[in-house]
């Protein structure tokens, strides 16, 4: 992963992790060295190595949704960093079916409980001096969220370059996904950079022009 603009006060690094190559994002305020990790889907040691090499301190671990390919390294990061774990309230139940829960015994759970906090639509998260807005974007899962700020939106498995999230998993809902994209994501500025849960980055402007799912959605409306 390229480091990007080293002069920017916002540190941003993307790592494709785990068997399904989910995108894990590390955001930080370079001055305060505070970091937020989005979707640590696996390879906890690799994520923590980046944190250590860049002298960062994890203050929060945010999940765009609760599917295992986005949560696999949660316990490792919480245990090592002491950072809080944040997920939308409607997806918290999924943690009980993922590697987050299955990786520990009841005794270990009591000794090292997850610092779990619930997110809701329009909540704000701060990383140093940077502020991000939580957008509840259900459809792929009931509690899927997107994280918007600094001209960027982290969409999890709601919107991809050239595609959208699948809705055939438990809790998936195609109508809610359409509403999330139309009423939340497409209301953002078209120049907004999209950082999806899998695959390459894109922009809303590009997806408006070339994403067949969005074209179909806008035609229906």
Residues with Cβ within 8 Å of 148's Cβ and at least 6 positions away in sequence, in order, are 132, 133, 135, 154, 188, 192
pLDDT in tens, 174-197: 999 999 999 999 999 999 999 999
Q: What pLDDT is recorded for position 112? A: 39
Buried b (16+ CB within 10 A) or exposed e, 9-43: ebbbbbbebbeeebbbbbbbbbeeebbbbbbbbbb
pLDDT in tens, 147-178: 999 999 999 999 999 999 999 998 999 999 99
Query: Residues 35-51: what's their mean pLDDT?
Result: 97
Query: Residues 86-100: what's their mean pLDDT?
Result: 81
Q: What is the DSSP letter of 177?
A: H
Q: Which domains does the chain carry?
A: 10-220 (3.60.15.10)
Q: What pLDDT is recorded for position 221? A: 65
> What pTM was estimated for this model as a whole?
0.90
Q: What pLDDT is recorded for position 8? A: 81
Q: What pLDDT is recorded for position 97? A: 60
- The rounded radius of gyration (Å) of the Cα atoms in the chain is 17
217: pLDDT confidence band, cut at 50, 70 and 90? Answer: confident
- 154 forms bridges with which residues in the sheet? 147, 195
Q: Name the percent of the chain lying above pLDDT 70.
A: 88
């Amino acid at each position: 992963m390229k480091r990007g603009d080293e002069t920017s006060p916002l540190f941003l690094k993307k790592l494709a992790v785990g068997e399904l190559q989910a995108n894990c994002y590390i955001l930080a305020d370079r001055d305060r060295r505070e970091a937020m990790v989005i979707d640590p889907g696996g390879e906890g040691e690799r994520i923590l190595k980046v944190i250590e090499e860049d002298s960062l301190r994890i203050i929060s671990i945010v999940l765009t949704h609760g599917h295992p390919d986005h949560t696999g390294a949660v316990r490792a990061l919480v245990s090592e960093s002491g950072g809080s774990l944040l997920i939308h309230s409607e997806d918290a139940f999924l943690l009980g079916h993922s590697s987050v829960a299955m990786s520990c015994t009841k005794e270990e759970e009591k000794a090292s409980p997850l610092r779990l906090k619930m997110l809701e639509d329009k909540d704000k998260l701060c990383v140093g001096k940077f502020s991000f807005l939580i957008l509840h974007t259900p459809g792929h899962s009931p509690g899927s969220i997107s994280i918007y700020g600094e001209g960027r939106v982290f969409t999890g498995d709601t919107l991809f370059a050239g595609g959208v999230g699948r809705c055939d998993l438990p809790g998936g809902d195609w109508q809610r996904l359409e509403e999330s994209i139309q009423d939340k994501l497409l209301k953002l500025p078209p120049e907004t950079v999209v950082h999806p849960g899998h695959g390459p980055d894109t922009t809303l402007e590009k997806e408006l022009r070339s994403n067949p799912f969005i074209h179909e959605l806008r035609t229906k409306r």
